[in-house]
Amino acid sequence: MVNKQKILIVDDDNNIAELISLYLTKECFETMIVNDGESALSAVDSFTPNLILLDLMLPGIDGYQVCREVRAKSQTPIIMLSAKGEIFDKVLGLELGADDYMEKPFDSKELVARVKAVLRRYKQAPVAAAKEDVKVVEYPDLIINQTNYSVVYMGKNIDMPPKELELLYFLASSPNHVFTREQLLDQIWGYEYIGDTRTVDVHIKRLREKIKDHESWKLSTIWGIGYKFEVRQS
């Protein structure tokens, strides 16, 4: 018997949560509903979900803080749900480690499609790498290994969500090659991704916070075009 994938639904509006649960149950997901941040954090450990649908406006601990605490110990995919449609809120959610962001009200079919897309991306990346030769790129003070999903920078292991590592590996695998945001979105997130190019900008910003410019290489912005992993000629 195939185990169902588990979705944790975190929303203080139980009517919305029940409706989401109904949509997902019809698609053969197992669901659990909690209505506040503290319960969400407990459920992450006890329910061990494959994905979290996380409302931002929660009593007590809000969705942003829940995301921070989940990311401190787990890479479980998170889709944020919010009535807030401002760019600031979306960018903040992505910066905290969310995999996607949906505005309320949302279409039930789009919600299910995004859940499946995020789960597919999260599941496929490590499996695909395991079937191929070891994928490693090395530069002075930097080793990026996409086979075991590890990054060693200045002799220390750096924790990175899968998409950050895949983006860094892709750029570093083609030194001095300029990629547009659209190309990076297609390569890393896939054609089925329902999002915009700001996702790339947010991930580049997070990478720069962890991987500083080196005398031999750096992550460069090509204004009006995109990004490249610049290797300086000796």
Full DSSP string of 47-94: T--SEEEEES--SSS-HHHHHHHHHTT----EEEEES---HHHHHHHH
**How confident is the model at residue 128, as a pLDDT?**
42
pLDDT in tens, 58-103: 988 999 999 989 988 888 999 999 887 667 777 777 778 888 888 8
Q: Report residue 143 as tokens.
A: 């080793």
Question: What pLDDT was estimated at residue 130?
Answer: 43
Give the model's pLDDT for residue 133: 60
205 phi and psi angles, rounded to 5 deg = -60, -45
Q: Which pLDDT score is estimated for 86?
A: 67
Which pTM does this prediction carry?
Answer: 0.60
The domain defined by 6-128 folds into Rossmann fold (3.40.50)
Which one, of 102, 77, 78, lies nearest residue 89 by Cα? Answer: 102
Q: Decide: 52 and 95 in contact? Cβ < 8 Å.
A: no
Which CATH topology does 132-231 take?
A: Arc Repressor Mutant, subunit A (1.10.10)
Q: Between 118 and 219, whose confidence is greater?
A: 219
Distances (CA, A) of 58 to 27, 172, 175, 206, 230: 26, 40, 44, 26, 43
The residues facing 180 across adjacent strands are: 226
Strands of the 6-10 sheet, one edge to the other: 30-34, 6-10, 51-55, 78-82, 100-103
Name residues whose C-beta falls within 8 Å of residue 195's C-beta, 6 or more positions apart in sequence. 100, 185, 189
CB 9 within 8 A of CB 17: yes
For 152-200, what is each residue's pLDDT tens digit? Answer: 999 999 988 888 999 999 999 999 999 998 889 888 877 555 566 788 8
From 15-29, 36-50, 119-133, the region with the lowest mean pLDDT: 119-133
Mean pLDDT for all residues in the chain: 86
Boundaries of every domain in the chain: 6-128, 132-231
Distance CA 214, CA 206 (A): 16
So what's the pLDDT on residue 122?
74
Contact 47, 6 (CB under 8 A): yes
Q: What is the mean pLDDT of residues 8-14?
A: 94
